[in-house]
Amino acid sequence: MRLSLLALLTLLVLPASAQPTAGLRLGLTVSDLDFGENSGFEDAEGIDQQPRLGLALGVVADVPLTPALSFRPEVLYAQKGYVLEVDIRTTDPVSSEPVALQGTQRVEMDYVEVPLLLAVRVPTGSALDVAVEAGPSFAYRTRFHLDCDGDAELVSACDTINAEDDRKEADDSGTLRKADLGASLGLTVGAGPFDVGLRYTHGLTSLYDTETISISAKNRVATVNGTYRFRL
């Protein structure tokens, strides 16, 4: 038992002989928002949230700390957001006339993202390099855009939000938070200079930065990526 523990500690603390590597990454993102269990949004009748598909690309590095542990900083451009399918049918409280609102609202939010991950290599007994990675991810929103199809009221609301003056006013008032902090957990499998990975990132901060909006809305993103690595 002591020998096993000693061998494990030795593996974790010995200086790594492997060289640091850098890499180019391209991935596919599948994202939406977590509105929380108490927001009532998930159960709202006539509103159905669908994921947005996007891209993630950038540069990554792997800095060995021990033979089993490495530090993996990244700088990525990641597309996030969500899609709302709206089909609301109700009655006007004044005229008692039926009212319907139908359409699709696509919310596009693009970020510069900096994940700072620790990766633990998993022994496989083969040439494959398998690692589990986890850590914080810091992001800053660089683009926000609404794209709406459907009834005129829905399209008009999107056009108003997208107007430059209104968007600047919204940013100045802090309605939407630009900075985002998340937690990431992933798995990578590598062979030679190439690896593929799966990652899930969940936001830790709400996108709304105002006391007038009490709904919690946090980014959640699943990513499938491929990376080409080279020694530094």
Please count the residues of the chain: 232
Could you report the per-residue pLDDT of 144-154, keeping only the tens digit for each?
888 877 666 66
Predicted local distance difference test score (pLDDT) of residue 88:
67
Q: State the DSSP code for 171.
A: H
- Is residue 176 very low, low, confident or very high in pLDDT (cuts 50, 70, 90)? confident
Domain-located, residue 165: yes
The more confidently predicted of residues 159 and 35 is 35
Packing angle, helices 152-162 and 164-173, rounded to 10: 70
Q: How far is CA 44 from CA 100, 105, 106, in A?
A: 15, 15, 18
Give the CATH number, domain containing residue 57. 2.40.160.20
Mean of the per-residue pLDDT values of the chain: 82
Is residue 99 domain-resident? no
* pLDDT of the residue at 16: 39
Cα–Cα distance for residue pair 7/213, rounded to 1 Å: 54
Average pLDDT rounded to a whole number, residues 37-61: 81
pLDDT at 121: 95
Q: Residue 151: inside a domain, yes or no? A: yes
Total domains in the chain come to: 1
The answer to whether 68 touches 48, Cβ cutoff 8 Å, is no
Q: Is 97 part of any domain?
A: no
Which has the higher per-residue pLDDT, 135 or 161?
A: 135
Q: Work out the average pLDDT over 71-81.
A: 97
Nearest to 101 by CA among 86, 114, 123: 86
Domain extent at residue 65: 2-39+52-82+106-231
Place of tokens 């390099």: 129
59 is a domain residue: yes
pLDDT in tens, 105-136: 888 999 999 999 999 999 988 889 999 999 99
Distance CA 192, CA 195 (A): 8
> Could you tell me which of 29, 76, 72 has the C-alpha nearest to residue 54?
29
Classify residue 45: in a domain, yes or no: no
Is the pLDDT reported for residue 194 higher than 80?
yes
DSSP 92: -
46 found inside a domain: no
pLDDT tier, 65 (very low <50, low <70, confident <90, very high otherwise): very high
Does residue 100 sit within a domain?
no
